[in-house]
Structure 1
Amino acid sequence: MKIGLEFGEFGWAGGPAKAAEVIARFARTADDAGVDLLGVGDHLWQGPQAGGREQPYLECFTALTVMAVHSSRARLAPVVAGVHFREPAVLANAITSLDVLSGGRAVLGIGVGWDADESAGMGIAFPPVAERFERLEETIRICLRLWEGGTEPFEGKHYRLPEPLLVPRPLTRPHPPILIAGGGERRTLPLVARYGDACNLYPTPDLADKLAVLRRLCEAEGRDYDAVEKTVILPFELGTYGERADELAGLLRGLGDLGVDTAIGIISGPDPVAQAEIVGNKIVPAVA
């Protein structure tokens, strides 16, 4: 099993003045420790699980670019980009720029988004969920069109690109991997089977059932189920000094037995660098 790490909080010791230093040290520490993926959530407000909107939150792609500069091997991903936040061409350009600047390490993590209050408060349209799923599929198709160098006009229900053009193209061939978040069996997993290079699920009791559904959907699409990376996301509750690391490693090994390839751990607390060190010392070798 591979390990990814995502920032869950931005309220670090030293405040905003220390943010660049913390992100840089975190990226170097995790990268040197063998962490496979570095992620940042895509929001404007901190979620209620981490103190709510009054807590700090840094912009996703800016933070990922700092991580790119201070790492050399780990993949870099928004986990995950909300489809309602950006026009598809802007998103394709952002991922392309991250891929070029990181030497070919970008991943497009994408989903339909969830925080209606955040969007309303910040003046961003938040269509009904059915429309967001339509936009999600069109966005993926537009990204693929631009990454593949196609220049024919795109005509969709929600987006129209009369002259698609993206220069440069990503370094990753054929394109940056597409990770689609969510476990819905009616809309999300079919999109994974059709377009996704990876899924992103929660480690809920029905995880094995979700993976079985994805296998059937891949077979129906004529795709190799084993070629789709299975990822889960969960808080990494390590304890201040790693006293819960063995418990977490056991949980992760169990997920690996179900077929999970990558576990993305949400790191919280005032010292993410220390948490990354614990992950490198105790989690990465325990589940490799």
Structure 2
Amino acid sequence: MDLGIHYANFSHPQWETRLADRLTGTARIADEGGVALFTVMDHYFQMEMLGGPPEPMLEGYTTLGYLAGVTERIDLGLLVTGVTYRHPGLLAKIVTTLDVLSRGRAWLNIGAAWYDREHEGLGVPYPPTAERFERLEETLRIVRQMWSDDDGPFEGEHYRLAETVNVPQPTRDRVPVLIGGTGERKTLRLVAQYADACNIFAGDDPAEMAHKLEVLRGHCDDVGRDYDEIRKTILYMNDPLADADAFLKAMESYAGLGVSLVATMPPTDDPEAWTTSLVSDVVPRLRDL
């Protein structure tokens, strides 16, 4: 099993002067220590559970572009891009640029968006839930077309593109697409139809994950997709270092369900030291699962 680090909180001590240094140091330690994926959030405002708008938040793709320049091996993505934040044609261009300049390390991790306060705060339209999912599906179709030989028009209900030109193309056939979320009727159906990976919140009990994966398997059967083609990833909400043995035991159960990557969040005021311990004490044992 691979490990990912989700760097969600920038409010460490003296962040006003040390934010960039801590982020850089954490990413480099992860890169050199065998962590597979480094993600930040796609928000304009910090989430209210982490202090809300008064707390620092960096723009996601600008941050990933910077991290591409200070790392060499680790994959990079947002967990997850909100479909409402960028026009899909521009999104495909942005992610392609990240992939080219990072030499093939970009992921497009995407979801239907949810944080109404930040949309209203900065004047970004926030459609109703049903429309956001319609826009998500059209966006998935658009990026797939832009990462293909078809540079013709796209005509959807919400988006109309006269030319889906995208030069240069990604370094691979297309950037891997991950859809985040657990909705059984819409989100997991979109995973089955369009995604290379899913991401689901997880704790120490894998029973809920097992249920979600059975739902995903059913959607795959419905659309004629090979369930085993889809990479299963989780965002683990607890600190692995609080009890590394218990964490690894839980991950062994998740690995048995087919989960191949677990992302974790630095919970401390010193993310560099936390990451150093993680790559020393957890990553080698996790790889054996």
TM range (shorter): over 0.9
| Bigger mean CA deviation after superposition, 155-164 or 59-68 | 59-68
TM-score by length of 1: 0.94
Contact 1:149/1:169 (8 A) holds in 2: no
CA distance in 2, matches of 1:154, 1:141: 9
> Which residue in 1 is equivalent to 2:222?
220
| Bigger mean CA deviation after superposition, 23-32 or 102-111 | 23-32
Contact 2:202/2:237 (8 A) holds in 1: no
**1:78, distance to aligned residue in structure 2 (A):** 0.8
Contact 1:9/1:269 (8 A) holds in 2: no
Give the secondary-structure state (helix, strand or coil) at the position aligned to 2:265: strand
Give the secondary-structure state (helix, strand or coil) at the position aligned to 1:270: coil
CA distance in 1, matches of 2:179, 2:189: 10
| Bigger mean CA deviation after superposition, 244-253 or 151-160 | 244-253
Letter matched to residue 248 of structure 1: F
Give the secondary-structure state (helix, strand or coil) at the position aligned to 1:72: coil
Contact 1:8/1:268 (8 A) holds in 2: no
Check if 1:158 corresponds to 2:158: yes
Residues 135-284 of structure 1 aligned to structure 2 (within 5 Å): 135-172=135-172, 174-203=173-202, 205-238=207-240, 242-284=241-283
> Which residue in 2 is equivalent to 1:86?
86
Give the secondary-structure state (helix, strand or coil) at the position aligned to 2:259: coil
Runs of 4+, deviation exceeding 3 Å: none
Letter matched to residue 188 of structure 1: T
Letter matched to residue 123 of structure 1: G
Deviation sequence 1:128-185 (CA, Å, 0-9, x none):
110000000101111111111321110000000012211111112x100000011111
- Pair 1:37–1:236, CA change in 2 (3 A): farther
CA distance in 2, matches of 1:19, 1:175: 32
- Count matched residues: 284
> Which residue in 1 is equivalent to 2:36?
36
CA distance in 1, matches of 2:229, 2:277: 30
Instruction: Report % sequence identity.
Output: 41
Contact 2:201/2:237 (8 A) holds in 1: no
**1:17, distance to aligned residue in structure 2 (A):** 2.9
> Which residue in 2 is equivalent to 1:116?
116
CA distance in 1, matches of 2:66, 2:252: 31
- Pair 1:149–1:19, CA change in 2 (3 A): farther
> Which residue in 2 is equivalent to 1:49?
49
Contact 1:23/1:66 (8 A) holds in 2: no
Contact 1:185/1:213 (8 A) holds in 2: yes
Letter matched to residue 84 of structure 1: T
**1:243, distance to aligned residue in structure 2 (A):** 4.5
Give the secondary-structure state (helix, strand or coil) at the position aligned to 1:261: strand
TM-score by length of 2: 0.94
Deviation sequence 1:36-81 (CA, Å, 0-9, x none):
1010110011112212221111111121122211222211111100
**1:236, distance to aligned residue in structure 2 (A):** 4.2
Letter matched to residue 111 of structure 2: G
Runs of 5+ in structure 2 lacking a partner? none
**1:245, distance to aligned residue in structure 2 (A):** 2.7
Runs of 5+ in structure 1 lacking a partner? none
> Which residue in 1 is equivalent to 2:96?
96
Give the secondary-structure state (helix, strand or coil) at the position aligned to 2:134: helix
CA distance in 1, matches of 2:273, 2:245: 17
CA distance in 2, matches of 1:48, 1:275: 24
CA distance in 2, matches of 1:45, 1:116: 10
| Bigger mean CA deviation after superposition, 114-123 or 204-213 | 204-213
**1:100, distance to aligned residue in structure 2 (A):** 0.7
CA distance in 2, matches of 1:262, 1:95: 21
**1:119, distance to aligned residue in structure 2 (A):** 1.1
Letter matched to residue 147 of structure 1: W
Q: For the aligned residues, what is the CA RMSD?
A: 1.5
